Structure 1
Amino acid sequence: MRVLFVSLNFSPELTATGKYTGEMAEWLAARGHDVDAIAGMPHYPEWVVAPGYRGRGWHEERLRGVRILRTPHFVPRPGRVSAVGRVLMECSFTLASLRWWMPILLRRARYDVVIAVCPPMQDAVLPWIYGVLRRVPWVFHIQDFQVDAAVRLGMLRIGALGRLLFAVENFFVARASRVSTITPPMRERVLQKGGVATRSWLVPNWADVASVRPTARDNAFRRAHGWADAHTVVMYAGGMGAKQGLSIVVDVAERLRSRDDIRFVMVGTGADRPRLEEAARQRGLTNMLFLPVQPLERLGDMLGAGDIHLIVQRAEAADLVMPSKLTNILAAGRPCIATAEPGTGLHEVLTTNECGLAVAPEEPEPLAAAIAALSDDAHTRQRMGVRARQYAEENLDRDAILKRMELSLEQLCELPPRQPADAGVSS
Structure 2
Amino acid sequence: MNQRTVIIHDYAGHPFQVELSRYLASVWKDQGIRVIHAFSSSTHTPQGSLQVTPDDPPNFEVVPLSLGKMIQKYRFVDRFISEKKYGRLLCELCEQRKPEAVLSGNTPTVAQLMLVNWCNRNNARVATWIQDMYGVAAKRVLSKKIPVLGGLAGNYLIHLDGKSYRQSDSVIPITEDFTPLLLKQGVDASKIQPIHNWAPLDEMPQMPRDNDWSQSMKLGDEPRFIYSGTLSVRHNPQLLLDLAIRLDKEKRGRLIVISEGEAADWLAEHSKKLPSLSVLPFQPFSQLPMVLGAADVLLAILEPDAGVFCVPSKILTYLCAGRALLTAIPHDNLAARLIRDLDVGLNTSATESEPFVRMAMELAADNERRQEMGERARQYAEKEFDIAKIGKRFAAELGIPVDQECLAK
Same fold (TM over 0.5): yes
Greater shift, 390-399 or 139-148, is seen at 390-399
Taking structure 1 as reference, are residues 386 and 173 closer, same or farther at Cα in structure 2, changes over 3 Å only?
Answer: same
In 1, the alpha carbon distance for the partners of 2:183 and 2:91 equals: 31
SS of 1:202's partner is coil
Matched AA of 2:18: G
Change (3 A) 1:324 1:116: same
Structure 1: distance between partners of 2:210 and 2:68: 43
- Show the counterpart of 2:406: 422
Secondary structure (helix, strand or coil) at the match of 1:81 reads coil
**SS of residue in 2 equivalent to 1:30:** helix
**Residue in 1 that maps onto 2:140:** 152
Matched, 1:66 2:57: no
Q: 1:326 is matched with which residue: 300, 315, 318?
A: 315
Q: Counterpart of 1:100? A: 93
Deviation at 1:115, TM superposition (A): 1.6
CA displacement, residues 171-206 of structure 1 (integer Å, 9 cap, x when unaligned): 111221110021222344333333233211222222
Distance 1:185 1:112, change over 3 A: same
1:252 and 2:243 aligned: yes
2:15 partner letter: K
- How many Å apart are 1:258 and its aligned residue? 2.2
Where 1:201 maps in the other structure, the secondary structure is coil
Match of residue 220, structure 1, among 207, 212, 233: 212
Contact 2:271–2:278 at 8 Å: present in 1 too?
no
Residues 83-92 or 363-372, more deviating: 83-92
Q: List per-residue Cα deviations over 1:180-234 (Å, max 9, x = no partner).
A: 02122234433333323321122222222233232222222222222222x1001
On the 8 A contact 2:37/2:63 being kept in 1, the answer is yes
Matches within 5 A, 1:224-303: 224-229=216-221, 231-281=222-272, 284-303=273-292
Kept in 2, the 8 Å contact 1:46–1:269? The answer is: no
Instruction: Provide the rounded CA distance (Å) in 2 between the counterparts of 1:25 and 1:46.
Output: 18
Structure 1, residues 306-328: CA drift from partner, whole Å, max 9, x if none?
00011011112123112121112
1:69–1:279 Cα change, 3 Å: same
Report Cα offsets for 1:27-69 as digits up to 9, x if no partner. 222222312355433532389xxxxxxxxxxxxx967543345
Deviations 1:212-269 (A, max 9, x none): 232222222222222222x100110111222222122102221332221211111122
Relative distance call for 1:300 and 1:72 in structure 2 (3 A) is closer
Secondary structure of 1:9's partner?
A: coil
Any conservation in 2 of the 1:116–1:124 contact (CA below 8 Å)? yes
Distance 1:259 1:397, change over 3 A: farther
Distance in 2 (alpha carbons) for counterparts of 1:312 and 1:371:
13
Give the aligned partner of residue 26 of structure 2.
30
Question: Within the alignment, does 1:358 sit opposite 2:351 as a pair?
Answer: no
Distance in 1 (alpha carbons) for counterparts of 2:113 and 2:323 = 40
Q: Secondary structure at the match of 1:34?
A: strand
RMSD of aligned residue pairs (Cα, Å)? 2.6
**Aligned equivalents of 1:320 and 1:62: distance in 2?**
33
Match of 1:185 among 142, 152, 177: 177
Q: Is the 8 A contact 1:115 1:141 kept in 2?
A: yes
1:115 partner SS: strand
Q: CA 1:372–1:214 in 2, change beyond 3 Å: closer, same or farther?
A: same
Flag structure 2 segments of 5+ consecutive residues without an equivalent.
Answer: none
Alpha carbons of structure 1 residues 337 and 146: separation in structure 2 relative to 1, 3 Å: same
Which of residues 170, 174, 193 is equivalent to 1:201?
A: 193
CA distances 1:155-183 after superposition (whole Å, capped 9, x unpaired) = 56544422221111111112211100212
By how many angstroms is 1:98 displaced? 4.5
AA of the residue aligned to 2:109: M
Letter in 2 for 1:252: L
Give % identity: 22
Corresponding residue pairs, total: 391
- Decide whether the 8 Å contact of 2:343 with 2:376 is kept in 1: yes
Q: Would you say 1:339 and 2:345 are equivalent positions?
A: no
Name the structure with the higher helix share. Answer: 2
Q: In the aligned structure 1, how far is the partner of 2:360 from the partner of 2:133?
A: 30
Give the direction of change, closer, same or farther, for the CA distance of 1:45–1:7 in structure 2 (3 Å limit). closer
Secondary structure of the equivalent of 1:336? Answer: strand
Counterpart in 1 of 2:82? 89
Does the 8 Å CA contact 1:8/1:123 hold for their aligned counterparts? no
Q: Partners of 1:305 and 1:100 in 2: how far apart? A: 40
**CA drift at 1:367:** 0.3
